[in-house]
Amino acid sequence: MQSKPEPSAPDPLGESPRVIGHYIGEEPGPLVVAIGGIHGNEPAGVQALEQLFDLLKEEPRLNPGFTFRGELLALRGNLEALRVGRRYVDIDLNRIWKPYVRGTDNTFPTVEARELDGMLAAIENALEDSSAQELVLIDLHTTTATGGIFAITGDDAPSLLLAAELGVPVIKGMLSGLQGTTLSYFRSGEYDFEHPCRAITFEAGAHTDEESVDRALAATVNLLRSVGCVREEDVSTHHEETLRRAAVPVPTLLELTYVHHIDPDDRAGFTMRPGYRNFQSVEEGTIIAEDANGPIAAPCSGYILMPLYQDQGDEGFFIVAAYEGGTAY
Ligand SMILES: [Zn+2]
């Protein structure tokens, strides 16, 4: 799969506002669900998946031996928030994933509850018609800060091993720090699915960096290779190079050591000090933000991740450190 798709007309079959595409291979394999735009101000993942489907349409013509094992279902996440370019409309869609209970009256308490229902319905529909033995989920995001790219997983060995194959730093331990995320839904036993499931989140860089689209595409293509949907020889080395170019000198496996939850009553009062980047080193005691109670010091040394430089978001910053827990996987 090469890096530059030929532009092609939209295919009316299989496309909808929710579904970017549903590619069904000729050989058995996993069902890969790729999601972009769970946050509406992060369109890079959506654009990457649209490009991926353009590549898949072109591939048989350019590479007659191309085969695909399993299925790829690509979804747009928060349609309404994507339309208005906001992280969310009523509530953060990546904090409300929980076991699926659809109301009987077809009304929803929030815009995001309706979006979640639409995403889960699309996944359920694909599963009903699929013979896949495994579900693999990749959730594509970007951050307000610049700096390094990374993957986040649960602490299960299969997901960690898969994330490690992307060739970017992997952050473990996030499930205990954040509730209601896509990862926690698919990895914490909340999802009622009889088949095994591996799930990773990929953070492709800054929202506004055009290369974030290339990196999200590269990570998704590499994941398709790692899970056996596409063969090694059918994947351009361009994608590896794209990810390698964004590498920063940090350990390959890190774990969450601190998350700064913003007091919901003081949302407007939180201000991150300027200039922090993903994976910037910070010393314990350094003042890195302020809120209504005054300066906020880093409670431990480590690397800053996802410092918040936008008006929406429930966490001010994360601190991660090299994983030193022995056997990682
Ligand atoms: Zn996001």
Residue 30: both structure tokens together: 């996993």
Predicted local confidence at residue 14, as pLDDT: 47
Convert the pLDDT of each residue in 185-214 to its tens digit.
Answer: 887 666 666 778 999 999 999 998 999 999
Alpha carbon of 131 to ligand 1 centroid (Å): 31
Predicted local confidence at residue 9, as pLDDT: 42
Alpha carbon of 146 to ligand 1 centroid (Å): 14
Predicted local confidence at residue 13, as pLDDT: 39
Counting residues of the chain whose pLDDT is more than 90, the rounded percentage is 66
pLDDT greater than 50 at residue 8: no
Enumerate residues 6+ apart whose C-beta is below 8 A from 293. 266
Alpha carbon of 94 to ligand 1 centroid (Å): 8
Alpha carbon of 184 to ligand 1 centroid (Å): 15
Alpha carbon of 16 to ligand 1 centroid (Å): 22
Alpha carbon of 26 to ligand 1 centroid (Å): 33
The bridge status of strand 19-24 relative to strand 69-76 is antiparallel
Alpha carbon of 165 to ligand 1 centroid (Å): 22
Alpha carbon of 236 to ligand 1 centroid (Å): 27
Alpha carbon of 142 to ligand 1 centroid (Å): 6
Convert the pLDDT of each residue in 261-320 to its tens digit.
Answer: 998 777 778 999 999 999 999 999 999 999 988 999 999 999 999 999 988 888 999 999
Counting Cα atoms < 13 Å in the Cβ hemisphere of 248 gives 17
Question: What is the rounded CA–CA span in Å between residue 323 and residue 312?
Answer: 30
Alpha carbon of 32 to ligand 1 centroid (Å): 19
Q: What is the mean pLDDT of the chain?
A: 89
Question: What is the rounded CA–CA span in Å between residue 19 and residue 100?
Answer: 19
Alpha carbon of 147 to ligand 1 centroid (Å): 15
pLDDT band at 45 (very low <50, low <70, confident <90, very high): very high
Tell me the residue type at 37: G
pLDDT band at 6 (very low <50, low <70, confident <90, very high): very low
Residue 191: both structure tokens together: 């999802």
Alpha carbon of 39 to ligand 1 centroid (Å): 5
Convert the pLDDT of each residue in 150-160 to its tens digit.
Answer: 999 988 889 99
Alpha carbon of 56 to ligand 1 centroid (Å): 26
User: Which residue ranges form the domains of the chain, and what is each CATH number?
Assistant: 19-245 (3.40.630.10), 253-322 (2.40.50)
Alpha carbon of 282 to ligand 1 centroid (Å): 23
Predicted local confidence at residue 1, as pLDDT: 67
Phi-psi region of 129 (alpha: psi -120 to 50; beta: other; left: phi over 0): alpha
Alpha carbon of 268 to ligand 1 centroid (Å): 20
